[in-house]
Amino acid sequence: MSQIQIGLLLLLLTLLGVVGYNVYLSETTPNEISYTDFMEQLQKGEIKAVHLKGGAVKGEDCRKQAFSSFIPDVPATLTILREKSVLITAEKDTENIGGFLKSMVPVFLILGGYLIFSRTQKKGGSGLGKNKYSSFVPSKNTKVSFEDVAGISEARSELIEIVESLKNPEKFSSLGGYIPKGVLLQGPPGTGKTLLAKAIAGEASVPFFSIGGSDFVEMFVGVGASRVRELFTEAKKNAPAIIFIDEIDAIGGKRSGGNATGSNDEREQTLNALLVEMDGFNSDQTVIIIAATNRPDILDPALLRPGRFDRQVTISLPDAKGRRKILEVHAKKILMAPGVDLSEVARSIPGFSGAEIANLVNEAALIGARHNKTAVELSDFEEAKDKISLGLERKNVVINETVRRVTAYHEAGHAITAKLLPETDPVHKITIMPRGRALGLTQQLPLDDRYTYSREYLINRIKILMGGRVAEDIVFGHQTTGASNDILTATDIANRLVCEFGMSKTIGPVAYIQEQGGFLGGSPTTRPYSEKTAENIDKEIKRIIEECYNETLVLLTENNKFLHKLAEALLVNETVDGEEMDIVHYCYMNEKSIEKKLMKHQKEERAQQNQRISGLPRSFYKEETKCEHEKE
């Protein structure tokens, strides 16, 4: 049995003892009656015997039931007791220490059980008063260096100065400056904030103290503040050192300014202790605090001011070049097949964070092992990417031929619209194999990472989303629910185009919504506007979507044969990649060109025939008419 289980068992036994003692007291304590009831029973002769102790009286009635009461006028009551021939006993009224101790037994039991539990928990390393930080001193075996951190070169170069200040603090103090006391790493989840902090400690070879923001906060007020003081005291003893607080927004949120109670009061006390400790470093103690958060917008301004967090480093998602470097770092841990182009893999995973890329490499290795391969191939990366982005293939799902054909034309409509419209991302893959919750998918991959979007790109994106529904209308003449998510996404793009990006000529360059701060997304906030403006916004959004739908209808109607060819290819192969789609498009264009040439040739022959006929004399027509008449 572990020490934690022993502590819990002792606490449970203590509580059972308290409950049992209270039951015992309730059973053995006489029934207390009022002075009025006592006098009424006495006058009726129902009292058999009493025991006096000062003003307190305990006795027994004729039914041998015990009772207790209090007598305000003892001499007068004694006279009545003697008249009624009641047996009287008495004792001297002194301070009853034993009674006091008896009343304090439950308190002592609870306090003793709590102390035993706390002491046991402290020995186990997770008590209420025990700090929960983990610490280590980098060695050759556990050292994490900047070579292990890839894809965030700008943030890494910004933090090299921190390493130099830890190695040689006199270099900076000689000119009168002081090294940064705190560095705030902010960015989306999985971008390498914790790894970067460990790399700083590894490069500087100094002790590293790590703790999560939520580990400071407990139910009991004052525990978090004591943990902050203990953590900083230990770091100062081992200076120079680094303190890393992950998810600091758990304790560093903006203070309410009102009367806080409960857990909010505990959080604010913890924050106050942290602010004091960050300001309390002595000049001869080199302790740097590094914190990470996904929500810098909710942090208290006092925490962000210079002198506490002097540096605020934003770690963004890596670009294509950064993703390739991260892939190279993780690919060293697996056996790669020759010829695997990591640049192609990096280009095919836009928006992936460092943690997601590490998971991609691991999934590719697992898939290769599942297929009994001796090395990880490019196809394994493709399958791992689809598994992470799109979900697992539902190979056992039975889909009837009608739904399968509708799905093929739906996805072909998306793909052809993306292929034929300008300023769109190239089509990477089209599939009608069910994955996750979708029956099919058209995947596009940008040639380069996009940081801004033009109005034409957004409008064409809406047209691509409408392509599936338009294809269903053209081929089958009815609509299905398969386009529900497309319509939802298209409406969101049109809404942001009008209300956030100010790209509507009718509404004008006015923003009515804005994004939430931080890196976790969330619903955008809306600024107040009138009902008339809301009506105009609704009309403009509807107009944009309807125009996109109609233009997509014209486009797919003109390329109806291309739609049928691509849909048939999907029905046969289930998955068509970008190159195979280009082949289908090439064949379609050749047939279209041959048809144009044939139509042109037929038109020219008809024109030449008309020209020959028009060059004959008028008498020829009369003779022809005459001969025809005679034949009849």
Task: Answer yes or no: is 610 within a domain.
Answer: no
Supply the range of the domain harboring residue 214.
134-314
Task: Answer yes or no: is 495 within a domain.
Answer: yes
370 or 268, higher pLDDT: 370
At 220, is the secondary structure helix, strand, or coil? coil
Say which of 277, 356, 411, 551 is annotated catalytic.
Answer: 411
Domain match, 57 and 203 both: no
| pLDDT greater than 50 at residue 125 | no
Q: How confident is the model at residue 309 (pLDDT cuts 50, 70, 90)?
A: confident
Task: Answer yes or no: is 218 within a domain.
Answer: yes
Domain match, 430 and 569 both: yes
φ, ψ dihedrals at 523, nearest 5°? -75, 135
Task: Answer yes or no: is 473 within a domain.
Answer: yes
Mean pLDDT of the chain: 79
Q: Please give the pLDDT value at position 88.
A: 76
Domain match, 381 and 443 both: no
At 299, is the secondary structure helix, strand, or coil? strand
φ, ψ dihedrals at 529, nearest 5°? -150, 165
Distances (CA, A) of 338 to 335, 364, 385, 386: 10, 15, 20, 22
Domain match, 143 and 279 both: yes
At 283, is the secondary structure helix, strand, or coil? coil
Q: Please give the pLDDT value at position 117.
A: 53
60 catalytic? Reply is no
Task: Answer yes or no: is 83 within a domain.
Answer: yes
Q: Which of 27-31, 186-190, 273-277, 438-442 has the lowest mean pLDDT?
A: 27-31
Domain match, 501 and 530 both: yes
Q: Which of 253, 286, 314 is the last residue of a domain?
A: 314
Domain match, 416 and 543 both: yes
For residue 358, what is the domain's CATH number?
Answer: 1.10.8.60
Domain match, 506 and 542 both: yes
Domain match, 538 and 427 both: yes
Task: Answer yes or no: is 607 within a domain.
Answer: no
Q: Which of 29-43, 245-259, 421-435, 462-476 has the highest mean pLDDT?
A: 462-476
Q: Which of 299, 314, 329 is the last residue of a domain?
A: 314
Q: Which of 52, 84, 99 is the last residue of a domain?
A: 99
pTM assigned to the model: 0.68
Domain match, 361 and 430 both: no
Q: Which two tokens stand for residue 98?
A: 């034993």
Domain match, 436 and 506 both: yes
Q: Is the peptide bond before 240 cis (omega within 30 degrees of 0)?
A: yes
Give the helix/strand (H/E) hosting 348: none
Q: How confident is the model at residue 315 (pLDDT cuts 50, 70, 90)?
A: confident
Number of domains making up the chain: 4
175 or 134, higher pLDDT: 175
Q: Please give the pLDDT value at position 473.
A: 94
